[in-house]
Structure 1
Amino acid sequence: MTTMDFKTLLPTWLQDQALPLWTGAGVDVATGTVWEALDHDGAPCADMQRRLRVQVRQAYCFAMSEDPAHQALALRLFRFAMDHGFDADSGNLAARLAPDTSILTAPHDLYDLAFMLLAASALIAMGADVAADLDRLEAELAKLKAPRGWYENAARDLPRRQNPHMHMFETATALFAATGEGRFRDMAEECLGLFRDAFLTEDGRVLEYFAEDWSPLGADEQAVEPGHMAEWVYLIDRYEQVTGRRADVEIATLYGAVLARRDATGLLPDRADPASETRRMWPQTELLKAAVAMARRGETPVGAPSPEAVLALMWDQYLDTPVAGGWYDKRSAAGELLSENMPASTFYHILVAFRFYLSGGAST
């Protein structure tokens, strides 16, 4: 496909196929929430447990739509999470919900709080008044504050992980973009400092697991996920655009390490160290975002794939499905389809990647 093909195809896919699917079949009318997944025929996986984070990830997506009905649904999902997502006994934020949406676990997890706040940023940008909710979420986040960064959850479980801090970086940047409040830029810079000092290695790898003092765990307990490495390329570029500040990161080294971990098809495995034999769709959306960011910066290495080349691979492997607006979630390294459903959580990755591509890499 040509660049012009994708510039035409992606808006149509988003507006005429994906958003109608996920605001239609993707919604549980009985509870007003969203399903955790649809099967490959587009039917709800009604017996699956649900994650609270998926409710607000979909709220984030729907808030970006210009359709008032989608925006109203975004606000309803956020209200559900705020009004029913905190355990009555502990006060902790829920993580897993039963199919009837009753709370199963409430660990007050940093990852989940990051997405609650990310949804709030999109609603603020949409023009919704969620000031009181933002105050509450900031207070809930403060319960997890550590001397550096945040604890994993209320139990302060170990190991400490880069992934929720990456999403806190994303969220803080988004909140700064939506509000202009300096405390959110400061929060982003705390996460960025952890990235430079703890997560990022000299050769461009991003480590996943750490002891309480942020020293990396040993090789037998460690992992490297190329999708997260690509995601940091995008998030650092966005931070620099939103704040006007340099991140002081050798982004070309990071991107080179991402490209070096592609498989024979040119796509990213789920894990590079130790190597995995699977590749989900979401790492490919992050590869696309990284490719777009580097192209906009004029820093694409020789031999690196163009954004259109990444899109063509994604379309062939994950988006050419019987259900318009749907996707395949996981394939083997050889290309065998492994997934049995399409998780709703993946829409966040796809929507952001496609919007970023369509903007030419401009921060939106």
Structure 2
Amino acid sequence: MTEQAESKHPCLAGGLIHPDQWQLPETSVRKTLRAGIRDILLQLKADFSMADQAYQSLDDLPSLSSARLQRYAPLPDFAPLGSALLSALDELRQSGAHTRKACFLVSQPFSGLPEALETLDLRVISPPANLLMADADIAAWWDEQLMTDDWVIPELADFWLRHRSGLGLIRELMARLAVDQAGNGVVGCSSWCWQFWCQYLPDLYVAPWMPAPLTGECLVDWFGQLAMPDTGQGLTARMTNDGRFVLPAPSESRESRKHSLFPKDLATLARGNPGVALAVWRRALRAKPEESESGDVDAPDATEHCWVAPLDRLSLPKVPPSTTVSTGHVLHSLLLHNGLDLERLAQVTGLPEQELQITLGRLQRADVIAFSRDSHRYRVQPLGYPDVRRYLQARGYPVDRF
């Protein structure tokens, strides 16, 4: 593997890697075997409950209060990640692994990379109001934006529309990046936007980097750090079904404790994506176990503790069934463009606004997407993203490889 930057930030534990080095975090053997058995049983239409599924649905267990959820699994501060990204890029330059003026960073949706880039002490380049700018005006617009160095584009997906007149802005920027004539700056780009432009410009090379996927160990470290500022001593989290520990992380002083494979399976479900993993983690936290524990287990060191529902007991949002193509077109377009308002969604899909409103309403009711009153955009939600990606892939839509 190419030499990569090291960082103490848990979301950059694996450093920055080339996109073609990305690999899906491995699931646990137990989950793999369980999934295989479940598939066989479904095929045989057997009415059978597996031993590790003997409990009733954990969705009825009391969830954490809003106050405790904010204490145990708060939404992250992205400034430390931004600083860690700059440090990682500096190390790549010093090692000779990156020699270009501009740095191009690809990231999965909900990774937090755009938010982190916005916190940097760099000049933010925002997209113009008119994304259908005439070709004659595009070069002059970029000349003005790139006139001075030390700039940042937090999310390149905001600079285009999948429309015959909406490709010019990114096409011009990519041409400048290809010959390293965009000056010193940083470009953040959604993996879905990146996938489209790799197909549209197959010979394009901009020396991209991306954060390595988070493993189960990385998630344990990150979740522990998120809870640490408020809890002081940290957080103890154990599984509701068997009492195994999720937090704190395994250590030599706690060798007698049995630790759960939940973090490893969560990393696989989230595809190493920190935003998706955190959203599922917040959904899984519970106020008390399903039933009293059995067996002798070491008492937790921390004074605060909570419980974690198994992944197969969680009800995550699903894409509602549909007999039309509008659902797939809408979801794919929202991911390509980092969210869209109704007018632009109609432009890129070619669907009537009335049909779009019906589709958007169904997806909102299913908690797959949400509408932001601040940006007036519809966006796919982190909890719904795993099923959205599977839905699009099963129907032949081009998906990112991450």
Which structure carries more helix by proportion? 1
Q: Larger C-alpha radius of gyration, 1 or 2?
A: 2
**What TM-score, normalized by structure 2, do the two folds share?**
0.27
The structure, 1 or 2, with the larger RCO (C-alpha pairs under 8 Å, 6+ apart) is 2
